[in-house]
Amino acid sequence: MRSLFRFHGGVKPATNKAASTSEPIVKAPLPPRLVVPLHQSIGGTPHPLVRAGQRVLKGELIGAADGNVSSAVHAPTSGLVTAVEPALMAHPSGLTMLSVIIEPDGEDRWAELDRLNYKSTPPDELRDFVRDAGIVGLGGAVFPTHLKMNPGREGRTRTLVLNGAECEPFITCDDMLMRERAAGIVKGTAILRHLLQADEVLIGIEDNKPEAVAAMQTAVRAEGESMEVVAIPTRYPAGGAKQLIRVLTGIEVPHGRRSTDFGVQCFNVGTAYAVFEALTCGHPLISRIVTVAGNVDRPRNYEVLIGTPMSDVVRLSGQRTDTTRYLMGGPMMGMRMPGFDVPVVKATNCILVASDALFPPPPPEQACIRCGECARACPADLQPFELYWFSRAKNFGKAQEYNLFDCIECGCCAYVCPSHIPLVDYYRFSKSEIWARERDKSASDQARERFEFRNFRQEREKEEKAAKLAAKAAETRAKLATEPAVDGAAATPAADAAEDPKKALIAAALARAQAQRAAAQPKNTDNLSAETQAEIEQIEARRRTTGNAPASGPAPAGTGASAPDTQP
Amino acid sequence: MIHSPYIRKPASVQRVMGTVLVALLPGLAAYVWQFGAGILVNLALASVAAIAIEALVMRLRKRPVALAVGDLSAVVTAWLVVLSIPPIVPWWITLLAVIISIGVAKHLYGGLGQNPFNPAMVAFCALIVAYPALMSQWPGAGQLDFAAQLDLILGGARQPDGITAATALDALRTGMRSGASVGTVFSGNSAFGIAGGRGWEWVAAGYALGGLILLGTRVITWHLPAAFIAMLAVVSGLFWLIDPAQHASPLFHLASGGAMLAAFFIVTDPVSGATTPRGKLIFAAGIALIAWLIRSFGAYPDGIAFGVLLMNICVPLIDMKTQPPVFGHRGGNS
């Protein structure tokens, strides 16, 4: 028996997991319309590769990863692209996101599949393959998986942690996946282990899922892998990556550090399964397991194509009439959806159907009595009530000093607060204020730097010009001193150079300017047509006869000082 | 717009305060048993006054009245202040105590959660300074019947010698001042009971039992009562071991005066006390130390109230200096 470690705090809300695990995973039918958002991972937004009116096949790339910190997006089924346009995002903001709208043709025909033997493929190629298969962290954070498939600095990973804890109430998608597809998860984990060069693999599962633990143990034995399935105490948020790493290894990964710095990497079980599907079957990530629970008649897990409108999935479970909204995720950290028809995305582990009876609005906020319940519940060892006081007073500096940014927004503090204070909202407010201020500050810093650099540049150019002029003057002076005469035009002034260097300089400059003018100024007497030339000659002849001929100028015959003014 | 989390533990300030009131019942029962039902009159008066003042002040401050009255915090303060002062004080002293604790010490600082000082102890200190005679007239166990107590509470004439007896701490102080040893003071005085003051040891036991209720329901953590009791026992025990003739035993100190009430109900006030685990230990130990110093060397028979107020002042500093390390920032993390 492995000795486990504790993390501070945590809460034990009613798990509400039994109802949705009584039936196996059901494949959701093809919806009449799929809305596939292009941006479904942390990082860059993929560019659309399809246009309206184009036919696509199942698994066809429709959005290419934008740079390395991004992940590809694929057509979930075969059909017709009816539009590439902004559509409502599965996010509380209610903002839209460029999405590919596909009308399925019902054939569900696969594109040509690309498989890979991971053992004979170089790691770089494997990572690109995973990126192009659109695989992201399916625990909800949707961090591109290929970016995590790197061993740490030493080229080895001590521990690969597979996260099957699933600590949030109501959510059972990982539980059901482990029960039904344990072999695939273990095979995917073996691939991840190969890439990470991991010494040990620990599969952490909360002990309220004995069926999943057993299924995974059986699969590990059947695959002949040396991985350890560890049942961990059920306590929210044991499924947070940092909490799970702490429980299994005793290592605490501080805020702002990567677990790989400590020789640990952590993946969700669903992600491992997706890696297996991509490499072994060639299937890119176009569907996922989604729990539908809450205010429905038949809570259940479905295998849902990415892009399926949530209401189409919930309908299968029998949505009750007093439903007020959908939440994506669980009741502790879930996000309120801006509508019922927002699409299922890669981050959708659970559609929690809410009603006022199931999740009543919180009682009115009361004064904080500093009872410290929140501090006893905080898994990050923070003093949440202090952060609350600082946030309320907009004392953001102090809030940061008390490690506001170590808060993982798990909601434990607000869950236990006897004064019903929406504590997490206060922290979100403070964090966004601090980010906004930092943005403002960096914008004004940039403006100031630009201004200062401009001043510096102007100053520098002035100096450079002066230096250049001085050098030139010195050069000319030296030249004049050694060469008595230059050319015909400057001959007379240059003769005085020996007596007065300054005068000589001026004369030289004048001569140079004159020569330049002569060379640069276009003359309206150049390239004349035959008639004009004849006319000019007539005028010249007339002038000569009247004695008005201009003073001799540089050849050819000048047109007088007023000539430039008459130019068009 | 409601954000996560969408579920909440069934907890409320009202539930916390209600638990405190329930936990006070064993001590109160022992009180009535040993000293008569007069305390109940003052308790009822104080409760009504507390609710009235709370409502009035909330109304003046244009804040929701029902929410504040319903949270029972005013009633808890009223009970604690009544249990801290003699049970036979005239009604206007009780009223004054409630006005000072709720009107001044609580609401002048901004109401529930905002007061830096323990409201009940502010009232106690103000009154013992303003009315030292009335505030030190404690009846002996079984000395007065209910009718006599009621008469005194309603403002009847007082003949101190007839209505009160010296408390154990008083008797000890007076005895020691006259040069007697602890043993001789104890042996010839009816003020002393089995462990502390006669009758009071039962009340103390009742408070301790209530404290166990608070610990069991997780309304308080072990830190505050443990540090208070340990400090009082250690410091009094040390001097008692050195010179038992000049110093009372730790058991006497723990069972006398307001020690048990303080350990479980007064120093555990979350609003005005320290909040970090280490901070709680320092805070409660500091109160115990000051209380023992005042009991042993000061001008007042008991010093817990002053100890609480003095340590209240130190709370911001204590909390600041005892912040526990945050996840991942502990030493020895590789």
> Which CATH number is A136's domain given?
3.40.50.11540
A376: CATH: 1.10.1060
Are A168 and A333 in contact, with CB atoms under 8 Å apart?
A: yes
User: Is B294 contained in some domain?
Assistant: yes
Assess if residue A394 is contained within a domain. Answer: yes
- Residue-level pLDDT at A562: 44
Which residues neighbour A529 within 8 Å (Cβ) at sequence distance 6 or greater? none
- Stated as kind and residue range, the H or E segment containing A425 is helix A423-482
Q: What is the pLDDT of residues A279-310, one digit of tens each?
A: 999 999 999 999 999 999 999 999 999 999 99
The answer on B113 and B20 residing in a single domain is yes
Both A201 and A247 in a single domain? yes
The pLDDT of residue B282: 97
Kindly state whether residues B107 and B208 are assigned to the same domain.
no
Which among B5, B221, B328 has the least Cβ separation from residue A253?
B328
CA distance B209 to chain A (A): 21
Find, among B138, B134, B142, B146, the residue nearest to B35 by Cα: B142
For residue A536, is it within any domain? no
* pLDDT at residue A547 in the model: 66
* The token pair that represents A490 in the structure block: 């400057």
- Is B245 a domain residue? yes
DSSP 8-state class, residue B140: P
Query: What is the pLDDT, as a whole number, of residue A548?
Result: 61
Q: Environment class of residue B216 by beta-carbon count within 10 Å: exposed (0-12), middle (13-18) or buried (19+)? A: exposed
- Nearest Cα of chain B lies from the Cα of A332 at a distance, in angstroms, of 4
Q: Answer whether A366 sits within 8 Å of B13, measured CB to CB.
A: yes
Chain B residue numbers touching A169 (CB-CB < 8 A): 7
- Residue B53 near residue B68 (C-beta atoms within 8 A): no
ipTM, interface predicted TM-score of the complex: 0.89
Check if B327 contacts A (Cβ < 8 Å): yes
Record: contact B271-A370, CB cut-off 8 A: yes
Upstream peptide bond of A237 is cis (omega within 30 degrees of 0): yes
Rounded CA-CA distance B78/B28 in Å is 14
- Give the separation between CA B53 and CA B108, rounded to whole angstroms: 12
Whole-angstrom CA distances from B50 to A432, B40, B45, B99, B106 are 41, 15, 9, 8, 11
The C-alpha atoms of residue A39 and residue A73 are separated, in whole angstroms, by: 8
**Residues whose CB is less than 8 angstroms from the CB of residue B313 and which lie 6 or more positions away in sequence, other chains included:** B116
Nearest chain B residue to A257, by CA: B328
With contacts defined as CB-CB under 8 Å, which chain A residues touch B319? Answer: 386
Give the chain B residue nearest A168 (alpha carbons): B5
Sign of CA dihedral B87, B88, B89, B95: positive
Would you call A99 helix, strand, or coil by DSSP? strand
Chain B: residue whose CA lies nearest to A12: B9
Instruction: Decide: A74 and A60 in contact? Cβ < 8 Å.
Output: yes
Phi and psi for A56 in degrees, rounded to 5? Answer: -125, 155
Domain match, B249 and B206 both: yes
Nearest to B113 among A333, A334, A368 (CB): A368
* A213: confidence class by pLDDT, cuts 50, 70, 90: very high
One domain for residues A503 and A412: no
In a domain, B291, yes or no: yes
Instruction: Establish if B331 touches chain A: CB-CB under 8 angstroms.
Output: no
- Where b means 16+ CB within 10 Å and e means fewer, B230-262 reads ebbbebbeeebeeeeeebbbbbbbbbbbbbbbb
User: Tokens 């040390």 identify what position?
Assistant: B238
Question: In sequence order, what are the beta bridge partners of A245?
Answer: none
> Does residue A374 share a domain with residue A399?
yes
Q: Can you give the length of chain A in residues?
A: 568
C-alpha–C-alpha distance, residues A90 and A99, integer Å: 12
Rounded Cα–Cα distance for residues A459 and A273 (Å): 63
With 0-12 CB in 10 A as exposed, 13-18 as middle and 19+ as buried, what is A24? exposed
- CB contact B184 to A (< 8 Å): no
CA nearest to A138, candidates A104, A110, A178, A169: A178
Domain boundary among B132, B165, B198: B165
Same-domain status, A382 and A510: no
> What is the H or E stretch that residue A98 is in?
strand A96-104
Same structural domain for residues A367 and A487? no
Distance CA A219, CA A21 (A): 20
The predicted pLDDT at position A220 comes to 96
CA-to-CA distance for A487 and A496, rounded, in angstroms? 14
For a pLDDT cut of 70, what percent of chain A falls above it?
Answer: 91
* Interface with chain B: mutation pick from A257, A412, A419, A424, highest number of B CBs within 10 Å: A419
The answer to whether the CB atoms of B327 and A373 lie below 8 A apart is no
| Structural domain includes residue A332 | no
Q: B162: distance to nearest CA of chain A, Å?
A: 44
Handedness of CA A380, A385, A386, A389 (dihedral sign): positive
Judged by a CB distance cut-off of 8 A, whether residue A392 touches chain B is: no
CA distances from B236 to B168, B233, B266 (A): 16, 5, 20
Q: Which residue spans within A317-466 are E strands per DSSP?
A: 323-328, 335-336, 350-355
Question: Is A144 part of a structural domain of the chain?
Answer: yes
The predicted structure's pLDDT at residue A253: 92
B328/A255 touch (CB, cutoff 8 Å), yes or no = yes
Which residues in chain B have Cβ-Cβ distances shorter than 8 Å to A403? 326, 329
- Of B118, B138, B165, at which residue does a domain stop? B165
Strand partners of residue A266: A161
Ordered strands of the A287-294 beta sheet: A26-27, A300-305, A287-294, A350-355, A323-328, A335-336
Whether the CB of A368 is below 8 Å from some CB of chain B: the reply is yes
Q: Read off the pLDDT of each residue in A354-379 and give the average, rounded to a whole number.
A: 93
E strand intervals along chain B = none
Best residue in B1, B3, B276 for a mutation probing chain A (most A CBs within 10 Å):
B3
Residue with tokens 């079980």: A269
Measured N-to-C along each axis, helices A173-180 and A210-223 cross at an angle, to the nearest 10 degrees, of 40
Which chain B residue has its CA at the smallest distance from A263's CA? B334
- Going by C-alpha positions, the residue among B10, B202, B136, B281 that lies closest to residue A416 is B10
Continuous segment of H or E residues that includes residue A504: helix A501-520
CB of A377 within 8 Å of a chain B CB? The answer is no
B197 and B158 co-located in one domain? no
Half-sphere exposure of A181 (CA within 13 A, CB side): 23
What Cα–Cα distance (Å) separates residue A401 from each residue in A396, A397, A398, A405, A441? 8, 6, 5, 9, 19
> Could you tell me if A142 and A235 lie in one domain?
yes
Are both B226 and B251 inside the same structural domain? Answer: yes
Q: Are A209 and A175 in contact (CB under 8 A)?
A: yes
Output the six-digit token pair for B285.
């130990």
Q: What are the C-alpha distances in Å from A324 to residues A88, A296, A343?
A: 18, 12, 18
Q: Tell whether B6 is covered by a domain.
A: no
Give dist(CA B62, CA B58) in Å, integer.
6
Mean pLDDT to the nearest integer, A427-456: 91
CB pairs under 8 A between A and B: 141
For residues B271 and B306, membership in a common domain is answered with yes
Please give the structure tokens belonging to residue A419.
Answer: 């004064």
Residue B144 is predicted with a pLDDT of 82
Is A568 among the domain residues? no
Instruction: Please list, in sequence order, all residues whose beta carbon lies within 8 angstroms of the beta carbon of residue A534, skipping any fewer than 6 positions away.
Output: none
Instruction: Give the residue on B whose Cα is nearest the Cα of A380.
Output: B327
Which residues are CB-neighbours of A260 under 8 A, at least 6 positions away? A150, A151, A152, A153, A157
Residue B330 lies in a domain: no
For residues A459 and A497, state if they share a domain. Answer: no
Range with the lowest mean pLDDT among A339-343, A530-534, B318-322? A530-534
Q: Give the angle B268-B269-B272 at the CA atoms, nearest 5°.
A: 125
C-alpha to C-alpha distance for A82 and B77, rounded to whole angstroms: 69
Q: Are residues A249 and A372 in the same domain?
A: no
Q: Which residue of A363, A367, A420 is in closest CB contact with B111?
A: A367
Residues B30 and B147 in one domain: yes
Q: How many domains does chain B have?
A: 2
Q: Is residue A196 part of a domain?
A: yes
- Mean pLDDT over A184-192 rounds to 96
Q: Mean of the pLDDT values across residues A266-285? A: 95
Residues B224 and B136 both lie in one domain: no
Same domain, A513 and A401: no
Q: In what order do the strands lie in the sheet with A157-163?
A: A228-232, A198-206, A157-163, A264-268
User: Are A362 and B8 within 8 A, CB to CB?
Assistant: yes
Domain, as residue range, for A428: 362-471
Identify whether residues A268 and A413 lie together within a single domain: no
Rg (CA), chain B: 21
Whether A403 sits inside 8 A of B71 (CB atoms) is: no
Is residue A185 within 8 Å of residue A176, measured between CB atoms?
Answer: no
Residues of B in contact with A363 (CB under 8 A): 12
Any idea of the CA torsion for A12, A18, A21, A23, to the nearest 10 degrees?
-170
B226 and B113 in a single domain? The answer is no
Whether residues A459 and A501 fall in one domain: no
Instruction: Establish if A400 touches chain B: CB-CB under 8 angstroms.
Output: no
Residue B3 belongs to a domain: no
Q: N- to C-terminal Cα distance for chain A?
A: 98
**A372 closest CB neighbour out of B4, B112, B275:** B275
Angle between helices B38-60 and B91-98 (to 10 degrees): 40
Domain boundary among A232, A249, A282: A282
Both A496 and A465 in one domain: the answer is no
* Chain A residues with beta carbon closer than 8 angstroms to that of B330: 252
| Span of A145-149, A403-407, A558-562 with lowest mean pLDDT | A558-562
The end-to-end CA distance of chain B, in Å, is: 42
Cβ atoms A181, A273 nearer than 8 A? yes
Q: Average pLDDT of A78-103?
A: 93
The answer to whether the CB atoms of B4 and A361 lie below 8 A apart is no
**Residues B197, B155: one domain?**
no
Asked, for residue A367, whether it belongs to a domain, the answer is: yes
| Confidence (pLDDT) at B331 | 62
Choose among A332, A368, A382: nearest Cβ to B326: A382
Low-confidence ranges of chain B (pLDDT < 70): 1-2, 160-163, 187-191, 193-196, 331-334
Q: Is A333 at the interface with chain B, CB within 8 A?
A: yes
Chain A: residue whose CA lies nearest to B330: A252
B232 lies in which domain range? Answer: 180-321
Q: Say which residues have a Cβ less than 8 Å from residue B311's Cβ, sequence separation at least 6.
A: B283, B286, B287, B290
Highest mean pLDDT out of A464-478, A539-553, B201-215: B201-215
Which of the four pLDDT bands, split at 50, 70 and 90, describes residue A498? Answer: low
Q: Is the pLDDT of residue A254 over 80?
A: yes
**Position A290 in a domain:** no
- pLDDT of A558 reads 42
Residues of B in contact with A323 (CB under 8 A): none
Contacts of A334 in chain B (CB under 8 A): 4, 6
Structure tokens that stand for A130 in this block: 């995973």
Residue B2 belongs to a domain: no
Domain count of the fold of chain A: 3
| DSSP states along A238-270 | TTSHHHHHHHHH-----TT--GGGGTEEEEEHH
Which residues numbered 92-131 in A keep a CB inside 8 Å of some CB on B?
92
Q: What are phi and psi of A435, to 5 degrees?
A: -60, -45
